[in-house]
A and B are shown apart, each in its own frame.
Chain A
Amino acid sequence: MSLTTVADGAVPQQNWLDKIGAGHVILAVALVLYPLVASDFFLTQIAGYSMIFGVLALSLMLLAGYGGMLSLAQITVAGIAAYAVAILGSNNSNVLGFGWPWWIVVPFAVAAAAVSSALIGWISVRTEGIYTLMITLAIATATFYFAQQNYAIFNGHSGYAGIHAPVFWGIDWRDPKPFYYLCLGLAALSYAAVLYGSRSTFGMTLQAIRDNPRRMRALGYHVTAHKVFAWFLAGILAGLAGVLLVWFNGRVSPGTIGVDVAIDILIIAVIGGLRHPIGPFVGAIVVILMQTFAIDIVGAERFNTLIGLVFLAIVFISPDGILGLWGRIKPHLAQGSLRAGP
């Protein structure tokens, strides 16, 4: 992995810029200043939405990139958090809706998501490799059908509507700018957390388990526990994204957690690249931009054909997604500039 290049303690007196990386600083400044130039549409529908799906895909990247477990159930986990927000908080569907304040609802929703993610993980880590994809797909589809048929908890086909983002500190967090910063904050935090986590002892152990579970078991590591804990962490990320998603949409229905969405998340992660935590965000921006503007090119109906073909092309040409493409082009560019330089 390219991440191991930054070894802790190798250079004791790193300045903070080296530690964080100049690229990250530039990106952060650009993203913080972005609302100055962007319209409301670009703030929420493009940037905010991309970041929510970026975090969702990041939770998949955590599992797939570091744990080698390809999951299609991330949107299910996010959906559990979203439904929890609707059920524990207030909605105007006249079903359940306990009306708890947001600062109790959110931890509960995220915890519910994380626990169910760990449960899904516990079921699926009994098998290995490609089976995980099948089992998580089966779980995602079954949850979708269950949510659609069950009226007591999930309010069936229509789901819940009228869910509001909280208002505190005198700010309505559903307004474009606050919502953008909320998404940005969550995205940056999750990104940093995953980057930090990947270099931690747990992250290293998880990657070693991905590469050779038998050897790690022989060394005395509890392979299943590490994998399930990774699912738990991914569940926290997906749960947070689910909370933002339900605040953004104001509603949640079985369509939110449908199989097409589950596959979209996988597409985002694969198009972006599963090797580095920035990949899912790149993928999310590309897919959301395509989703928004492909309508002008191919018409709203045939959007899926376009995205499917792009996905096929990426899988065929570059298994590591756009990041992999960049990694392949970069050496050529560097050589080109060397040649052009003198």
Chain B
Amino acid sequence: MSILDQPSSSSLSGGGGMTRRQAWGLVGLLAAAIVAWLVFAVWPAWLNAILISKKAFVSAILNGLTLAGLYFLVASGFTLIFGLMRNINLAHGSLYLLGAYIGYEVTSRTGYWLLGVAAGFAVLAIIGVIMQVFVFRRLEGDDLRQTLVTIGISIVAADLMLAVWAGGTYQIATPEWLDGALTLPVITAVRSNGASVFLTYPLYRVVVLAAAIVIGVGLWLMLNRTRVGMMIRAGVDDRAMLSASGVNVHAVFAIVFAVGAGLAGFAGVVGGSALSVAPGEDVRYLLASLVVVIVGGMGSITGAAIGALLIGLAEQIGLVYFPTYGVVLTFVIMVVTLAVRPQGIMGKAR
């Protein structure tokens, strides 16, 4: 594509002698410079007047990044499952919430937070395999019924979770070594005596973001560098062909479902520690995954990352600058994406 594009674009831009890629690179560099200046420079008064305060702005961006990390964890499982099985798992939010509850139980009983995280992942991975083997395998090739079944499962699951854990709000206790705040090298203001005020940010949220990045890179490596990943990618492109070439497709499906559901459970514990666990969170994270995946493109991990970044940042920035219309911003992003690129930013046209 790009090789074919280059001659025409360079002839169009004429005198500058710049290719389209170079032009975009320049734009990207400029944008990065502006963002870097916004984050690290001491703001002049007029900018503070427009954007409330530097502290609010940088906090919104950091919160947005953390939230994006959480959304990515939830949505990557969702998008993997869809990409391979054409199965819109509308019970994905329930998996998130169940993971959070399990994480809460394990953490509060044993006192080890990491054990809770591991339990959230492991239990949900097993549940994912069970769902795939006993439910979806029976309805293979019937997208609509599979989706309807996931709706039924999510209703029953939400009700049963309400029965067990009631309507209260839980908070998963984070261990001491994750508490506290991190002082970032970002100057929010300069006091009258000349001392700089540095921004502090909860350490736990930084860890969430780091975990999301590590898992994202791990998923990418798994998909692009391992044999299983190769099979998964082949299955996304052509399921019938993969099956015809002698691969046990059902085993691949089960692995993907285990990873997808496990990630939802993992995100549940991690998110439940950062925010809170309560009924209704399942719908919130289902909506988030839906929008992230619609924007990013179905079946693409990179797309899920881009979508999560956009939605997470939009949500938090919206929360600070136009509180009651924050949801609309998310929605506008979705509609614009659908209007310009119906298959999503990284999605392939089918």
Q: A interface vs B, CB < 8 Å?
A: 70, 123, 126-127, 129-131, 133-135, 137-139, 141-142, 145-146, 149-152, 259, 263, 266-267, 270, 301-305, 307-309, 311-312, 315-316, 319
B324 and A149 form a contact (CB under 8 A): yes
Of residues 145 to 179 in B, which have CB atoms within 8 Å of A's CB atoms? Answer: 145, 147-149, 151-153, 155-156, 158-160, 162-163
A305 and B159 form a contact (CB under 8 A): yes
In the bound complex, residues from chain B placing their C-beta under 8 Å from that of A311 are: 148, 151-152, 155
In the bound complex, residues from chain A placing their C-beta under 8 Å from that of B158 are: 304
A138 and B291 form a contact (CB under 8 A): yes
Cross-chain contact of A142 among B155, B286, B331 (Cβ < 8 A): B331
Closest Cβ of chain A to B254, distance in Å, is: 20
User: What number of B residues sit within 8 Å (CB to CB) of A?
Assistant: 44
Greatest chain A CB density within 10 A among B86, B148, B293 is at: B148
Closest 3 interchain pairs by CB? A308-B155, A308-B156, A304-B159
B159 and A130 form a contact (CB under 8 A): no
Q: Which residue of B lies closest to A270 (CB)?
A: B148
- With A and B bound together, what is the CA distance between A160 and B330 in angstroms? 26
User: Which secondary structure dominates where chain A touches chain B?
Assistant: helix
A135 and B294 form a contact (CB under 8 A): yes
- With A and B bound together, what is the CA distance between A123 and B324 in angstroms? 23
Cross-chain contact of A138 among B144, B326, B334 (Cβ < 8 A): B334
Is B335's beta carbon under 8 Å from chain A?
A: yes
Is B328's beta carbon under 8 Å from chain A?
A: yes
In the bound complex, residues from chain A placing their C-beta under 8 Å from that of B160 are: 305
29 inter-chain pairs at a CB distance below 8 angstroms, sorted by A residue, are A126-B342, A129-B143, A130-B86, A131-B294, A131-B298, A133-B88, A134-B293, A138-B290, A138-B294, A139-B331, A141-B287, A141-B290, A142-B327, A142-B330, A145-B287, A259-B283, A263-B151, A263-B155, A301-B159, A301-B162, A302-B159, A304-B159, A305-B155, A305-B160, A308-B155, A309-B156, A311-B151, A311-B152, A311-B155
- With A and B bound together, what is the CA distance between A141 and B339 in angstroms? 20
Is B31's beta carbon under 8 Å from chain A?
A: no
Is B141's beta carbon under 8 Å from chain A?
A: no
- With A and B bound together, what is the CA distance between A320 and B67 in angstroms? 41
A130 and B338 form a contact (CB under 8 A): no
Is B81's beta carbon under 8 Å from chain A?
A: no
Of residues 267 to 318 in B, which have CB atoms within 8 Å of A's CB atoms? Answer: 283, 286-287, 290-291, 293-294, 298
Is B323's beta carbon under 8 Å from chain A?
A: yes
Is B74's beta carbon under 8 Å from chain A?
A: no
- With A and B bound together, what is the CA distance between A266 and B149 in angstroms? 12
Is B90's beta carbon under 8 Å from chain A?
A: yes
In the bound complex, residues from chain A placing their C-beta under 8 Å from that of B86 are: 130
Cross-chain contact of B152 among A130, A135, A259, A312 (Cβ < 8 A): A312
Closest Cβ of chain B to A323, distance in Å, is: 16
- With A and B bound together, what is the CA distance between A315 and B148 in angstroms? 7
A130 and B283 form a contact (CB under 8 A): no
In the bound complex, residues from chain B placing their C-beta under 8 Å from that of A131 are: 294, 298
1/0 per residue, CB under 8 A from A, across B108-127: the answer is 00000000000000000000
Q: Which residue of A lies closest to B341 (CB)?
A: A126
B323 and A127 form a contact (CB under 8 A): no
Q: Which residue of A lies closest to B334 (CB)?
A: A138
A146 and B327 form a contact (CB under 8 A): yes
In the bound complex, residues from chain A placing their C-beta under 8 Å from that of B153 are: 308, 312
Cross-chain contact of B149 among A127, A146, A149, A315 (Cβ < 8 A): A315
Q: Which residue of A lies closest to B157 (CB)?
A: A308
Would A130 and B144 be within 8 Å (CB), given that A146-B328, A305-B156 are in contact? Answer: yes
- With A and B bound together, what is the CA distance between A266 and B147 in angstroms? 12
Closest Cβ of chain A to B37, distance in Å, is: 33
Given A131-B294, A137-B90, list of 8 further CB < 8 A pairs? A126-B342, A127-B338, A135-B294, A135-B334, A138-B331, A151-B324, A302-B159, A302-B163
Closest Cβ of chain A to B152, distance in Å, is: 4
Of residues 61 to 92 in B, which have CB atoms within 8 Å of A's CB atoms? Answer: 86, 88, 90
In the bound complex, residues from chain B placing their C-beta under 8 Å from that of A145 are: 287, 327
In the bound complex, residues from chain A placing their C-beta under 8 Å from that of B334 are: 135, 138, 142
- With A and B bound together, what is the CA distance between A33 and B125 in angstroms? 56
Closest Cβ of chain B to A220, distance in Å, is: 23
- With A and B bound together, what is the CA distance between A161 and B281 in angstroms? 27
A130 and B287 form a contact (CB under 8 A): no
- With A and B bound together, what is the CA distance between A300 and B232 in angstroms? 44
In the bound complex, residues from chain B placing their C-beta under 8 Å from that of A135 are: 294, 334, 338
